[in-house]
A and B are shown apart, each in its own frame.
Chain A
Amino acid sequence: MTDIARQRAERLAAQPLITLASGPGGFFRGTINDLRELWKRRELQGILVRRELKNRYKDSALGFLWTLIKPITMLLVYYFALGQILGASRNTPEYAIFVFAGLTIWGLYADILTSSTMSILQNAALIKKVYMPREVFPLASVGSALLNFCIQFGVLLVAMIVFGQVPVNWDSLYIIPAVLVVAIFGTALALVLSALNVYLRDVQYLVDVMVVLLFWASPVVYAFRSVAGSDAAGVGTWLYQLYLLNPITIAVVAFQRGTWLHGHGVETSLAKSHIPLSHNYPADLDLRLIIAIVVGLVFLWFAHRLFTRLQGNFAQEI
């Protein structure tokens, strides 16, 4: 018997026996523990995010450049085709900036939902062979979506300067809660959807359809004021209230407020329109943002509890 063996035995004897989870997994057990475990795995998380980004453009010659090419092309299309040729810019000044801002924040949301839903299934090979907290996979999807968002946001900033807007004023602060709302709800949904998709493969198709539908439920390509000023869904109607219940709508509007300076009512061209300027943004945007963040955090907690409950059977179901 070697010394190493004796040392190992002593070291092991000093450690407590760890009981592995059994049964379907409790709902209220150990959020703190899970978070600590996840924090310990942050390096793995970084590796997974990098892998996901790489995977997106794998085997392509231009690779990461595609992340830039796509949004720039989009920006140009919206500027020329929609703005100049189809004339959307007559109702909405700086239409290109407006729509690009909306698409940037919406794109973050859509990106999180579609990529995270598949994340557990795509990592089946790993999940079946090694133990690790399975949250890392949907979280890596969220992380890579956030990085892509940052790149697109950079393009947006450049575009704002090119189009002659100074990109900093007090309203710029709205960008922060806007991104927070999308990130919180996106992460919560990422956990729920990725776990459900293991048991029911239809979820991934359902998500695709929902993303298309939800796109029109937020003022991404049309201006918020055209909703607020309309007869059917204008201020005061129940449809308007329903419309504002969608946290992503709140986030999109706040993001536009932070990046699209022409929406602030100073522009004379807007004043000519029959819709009052106060309809550019919902009246209680700040309060709604705070509520969205608080509700989002509660939802995130529930989503994580659901995830830990479902993850016990991942390895045998995929």
Chain B
Amino acid sequence: MAAKIPVLKDAPLVIRMAGLSKRFVIRKEKSLKERIVNFGRSNKHKDDFLALHDLNLEIHAGQTVGLIGHNGSGKSTLLKVIGGIIRPTTGVIQRRGQIAALLELGAGFHPDLTGRENIFMNGSILGLTRKQLAGKFDEIVEFSGIGEFIETQVKFYSSGMYVRLAFAIAVSVDPDILLVDEVLAVGDEAFQQKCMNKIRQFQQEGCTIVLVSHSAEQIREMCDRVIVLDHGNVIFDGNTENGLSALSTSFEE
């Protein structure tokens, strides 16, 4: 096992959840006709789904947390709740510091804009000013390794190029919290290595990272804490090795 960077003593709390639940209501009809036809019976046409159930978690600055669990266990949902993209149904979530998120594929680019324009748009969404972005632009392009494709519309990018650009933008804001949802798997080996190095640098610099991954090896290598989700419940929270074995026993059941 690689040597872990010790978490700072009495590091400040950066993410706190208390009694956090997320319930999805899945309505089967989206059009007016169906709504009118089903009017009055509409409650029967709703499906409730509890994606996260009463989570109580605290994450301190400088931790690298691996979030693992079976497909559909609520990992992506939890990251979106932390990122403020999805609003929890009940409970409290508190957070501090600059956050950057790499959520599944897509990264929030606009397909018709070029890479350059997307850098400026995405950066300004993350809270950077035009001037700051202009200063970081070369660095972002350099890190992404996209080269001249930066002037091409993003819809013509390969999925690996997408992720490269997204990762380069996310790290350029020097986040205090970095959320990563599986995206790194798409990059080629060289880029994955580059990302890992960058993440290690962030760890050194006390950045808090929440990493969703199905690769036990990646989790083992990066994380100093593992949270295992199962149907929206936390079934394990603790050290990496025990977490990974908790996951495999949950698969065997």
Please list the residues of chain A having a beta carbon within 8 angstroms of any beta carbon in chain B.
1-2, 4-6, 8-9, 12-13, 15-23, 25, 41, 43-44, 47-48, 51, 55, 58, 123, 125-132, 199-202, 312-313, 315-316
Contact = CB atoms under 8 A, between A and B. Distances in A.
27 contacts: A4-B204, A4-B205, A5-B8, A5-B204, A5-B205, A5-B206, A12-B96, A12-B176, A20-B94, A22-B88, A23-B89, A25-B87, A43-B130, A44-B124, A44-B125, A51-B117, A51-B121, A55-B112, A58-B112, A125-B110, A125-B111, A126-B110, A128-B106, A130-B85, A131-B84, A199-B30, A202-B31
Contacts of B93: 19-20, 22
Nearest to A313: B87
Contact of B92 (A19, A48, A123): A19
Contact of B32 (A1, A23, A131, A200): A200
B108 A129 contact: yes
A11 B33 CA distance: 54
Interface residues of B, number: 59
Max count, chain B CB within 10 A of own CB: residue among A2, A18, A200, A316: A316
Given A126-B110, A316-B24, A8 B206 contact: yes
A17 B106 contact: no
B91 interface: yes
Chain B interface, DSSP helix/strand/loop, else mixed: loop
Contacts of A16: 96
Nearest to B107: A129
B70 interface: no
A25 to B, nearest CB: 7
A9 B10 CA distance: 9
Closest 10 CB pairs of A and B: A5-B206, A129-B108, A202-B32, A13-B12, A131-B84, A312-B87, A17-B94, A8-B206, A44-B124, A4-B205
B11 interface: yes
B120 interface: yes
A262 to B, nearest CB: 44
Interface of B: 5-6, 8, 11-14, 16, 20, 24, 30-33, 35, 61-62, 80-81, 83-97, 101, 103-104, 106-113, 117, 120-122, 124-126, 129-130, 176, 204-207
A85 B8 CA distance: 84
A193 to B, nearest CB: 14
A9 B16 CA distance: 16
A315 B101 CA distance: 15
A130 B96 contact: no
Contacts of A44: 121, 124-125
A43 B109 contact: no
Given A5-B8, A44-B125, A132-B125, A17 B95 contact: yes
Contact of A12 (B12, B125, B204): B12
Nearest to B12: A13
Nearest to A4: B205
A2 B202 CA distance: 11
B14 to A, nearest CB: 6
Contacts of B6: 1
A316 B89 CA distance: 12
B108 A17 contact: no
Max count, chain B CB within 10 A of own CB: residue among A6, A12, A17, A43: A12
Contacts of B11: 9
A43 B129 CA distance: 7
Given A22-B93, A130-B125, A9 B8 contact: yes
B11 to A, nearest CB: 5
A200 B61 contact: no
B117 to A, nearest CB: 7
B81 to A, nearest CB: 8
Given A9-B62, A128-B103, 17 more contacts: A6-B8, A6-B206, A12-B176, A15-B96, A20-B88, A20-B95, A22-B89, A23-B89, A43-B124, A47-B117, A47-B124, A125-B106, A128-B108, A130-B122, A201-B31, A315-B80, A316-B24
